[in-house]
Amino acid sequence: MTTLVLHRGSLRANPYERWLADHGEKLVLLGSAEQLALFGEELPTGAPYLHAEVLADYDTGPHVLARAAELVEEFGVTDVVACQEFDIERAAVLRERYGLPGQRPDTARVYRDKWEMKRAAARAGIPVADHTLLRSPGDLDAFADRHGFPVVLKPRKGALSVGVSVLRSREELRERLREVELFDADGSPQWLAEAFVEGSMCHIDGTVLDGRIATLWPSQYQYALADFRDRKGRVDIALDVADPLARRLVAFGERVLRAFGGPEHFAFHIEVFHTADGELVLCEAASRAGGAGVRDVQQVLFGFDPMEYPVRRQLGLPVPAGARRDPERLAGQLLFTKRPGVLRSLPDPATLPPGVVKYTTYAEVGQTVQDAAHSGDFLAAFVVTGADRAETEARIRGAEAWFRAGLAIG
């Protein structure tokens, strides 16, 4: 029995050989050359890996699916594992083509293709922002005429907020249209316009195991996701158990999962606008764990990695998830995206303030740092815990002050 692992990102963050140590199967890894270099990692060698390789242009290159198919046939693959956004649909295509178990293209597409996602939500009566698929440049002008500015322009199958623009004038609209290709190589439209929704952004994260929701809890961003070149700390905290908004979001997340479906075992990340008048409006959803520190926050809330357990269950391995419950403690994350310059100093990690359970830096002193390229391009990240939201936020603010005092870059 052999499992093909499609992987974009840090291999240290997803130690498949440890996750599946009791699996007794062999692993074949296909990963991203760019990500391997970015994280300064090397390909694994030796058991349980039969083979490991990386490809350039991994995120969008059609050669990745072709090579994955060759590996399925060469090694007699019996399962395909995919945990990252760019791999979800590829893995589904491979499973359907070769009759392998797991998520198939129908549910993979609804979580990956924002046009299909919004259509599925609308059919289920789930509120979404007014939107249109751009089939000509004139469609964006017409949409702006109907809805006014700002207008949100986003790629149909984007990730990490790459390509997302908030257009605030006709001039910005014209300039952005000159920069984007509205169609892919086969002529399919690849961009959506959406009405701008005023309000805060919440997200609902959790896992489905054995066809049932095992964990589900909402958090609230205190920053704009698309504005990833701001210089402030980006704060995101789980909601209190007694918060009425938390209960509304729990019910909203359950409704989205019923409408979109999914495989027997998967993690999910659902983003929801909470408008000024109290309405909940779906932004988008994904059948994978949340990015940045969302995964670490979920581990604090529920005691397990939301990527690891669905992978183990997909391969028939036991997990001690227990009955569904509310979190006993809260947690949040503090993120600093990269800013350009020479990194001259960082604070001493031996003096970390209380409540910080994880602190990660993504550059070394003396290194020349480039500006952030996407919403997950971090200089530093913290995971902070507290008894409730108020204590968690106070500790996050303490960590923010600590980091700013010790940071010198420019």
Q: How many other CB atoms sit within 10 Å of the CB of residue 305?
A: 21
Out of 195, 212, 236, a domain closes at 195
Mutual orientation of helices 105-112 and 85-98 as an angle, nearest 10°? 160
Q: Is the peptide bond before 48 cis (omega within 30 degrees of 0)?
A: yes
253 three-state secondary structure: helix
* Segment 211-237, tens digit of pLDDT: 999 999 999 998 765 555 556 789 999
Out of 147, 174, 195, a domain closes at 195
Structure tokens at 54: 């990386």
pLDDT surpassing 90 at residue 308: yes
Note whether 183 and 206 are same-domain residues: no
Asked if the structure places residue 231 within a domain, the reply is: yes
Note whether 360 and 339 are same-domain residues: yes
Question: Which whole number is the average pLDDT over 39-44?
Answer: 93
Residue 9, domain extent = 2-101
Rounded CA Rg of the chain: 21
pLDDT surpassing 60 at residue 304: yes
pLDDT surpassing 70 at residue 255: yes
Give the CA distances from residue 183 to residues 30, 188, 189, 194, in Å, rounded to whole numbers and listed in that order.
28, 5, 4, 18
Asked if the structure places residue 106 within a domain, the reply is: no
Note whether 190 and 213 are same-domain residues: no
DSSP 334: E
Note whether 208 and 243 are same-domain residues: yes
Question: Considering the entire predicted model, what is its pTM?
Answer: 0.93
Q: Which residue has the tokens 């970015």?
A: 38
Q: What is the DSSP string of 201-228?
A: EEEEEEEEETTEEEEEEEEEESS-TT-T
How far apart (Å, rounded) are the C-alpha atoms in residues 115 and 135?
Answer: 12
111 three-state secondary structure: helix
Note whether 70 and 216 are same-domain residues: no
Mean pLDDT of the chain: 93
How far apart (Å, rounded) are the C-alpha atoms in residues 58 and 51?
Answer: 18
Edge-first strand order for the sheet with 280-286 is: 280-286, 266-275, 199-209, 212-221, 234-238, 330-337, 378-386, 356-361
Confidence of residue 163 (pLDDT cuts 50, 70, 90): confident
Which residue, 366, 208, 204, is CA-closest to 294?
Answer: 204
pLDDT surpassing 90 at residue 5: yes
Structure tokens at 209: 């195991």
CATH number for 56: 3.40.50.20
DSSP 370: P
Asked if the structure places residue 117 within a domain, the reply is: no
7, 87 contact by CB (below 8 A): yes
Asked if the structure places residue 108 within a domain, the reply is: no
- The reported pLDDT for the residue numbered 148 is 95
Note whether 402 and 301 are same-domain residues: yes
* Segment 166-178, tens digit of pLDDT: 999 999 999 999 9
267, 206 contact by CB (below 8 A): yes
Asked if the structure places residue 120 within a domain, the reply is: no
pLDDT surpassing 60 at residue 387: yes
- The reported pLDDT for the residue numbered 233 is 86
Q: How many residues does the chain have?
A: 410
Out of 148, 166, 195, a domain closes at 195
- The reported pLDDT for the residue numbered 384 is 98
pLDDT surpassing 60 at residue 390: yes
Confidence of residue 67 (pLDDT cuts 50, 70, 90): very high
Question: Which whole number is the average pLDDT over 79-86?
Answer: 95
How far apart (Å, rounded) are the C-alpha atoms in residues 328 and 354?
Answer: 19
Note whether 49 and 178 are same-domain residues: no
Q: How many angstroms separate the most distant Cα atoms in the chain?
A: 60
Note whether 146 and 175 are same-domain residues: yes
Confidence of residue 194 (pLDDT cuts 50, 70, 90): very high
Note whether 87 and 13 are same-domain residues: yes
What's the start-to-end Cα distance of the chain, in Å?
Answer: 52
How far apart (Å, rounded) are the C-alpha atoms in residues 159 and 194?
Answer: 16
Return the percentage of the chain with pLDDT > 90, whole number.
85
Number of domains in the chain: 3
Note whether 181 and 87 are same-domain residues: no
Question: Which whole number is the average pLDDT over 144-160?
Answer: 90
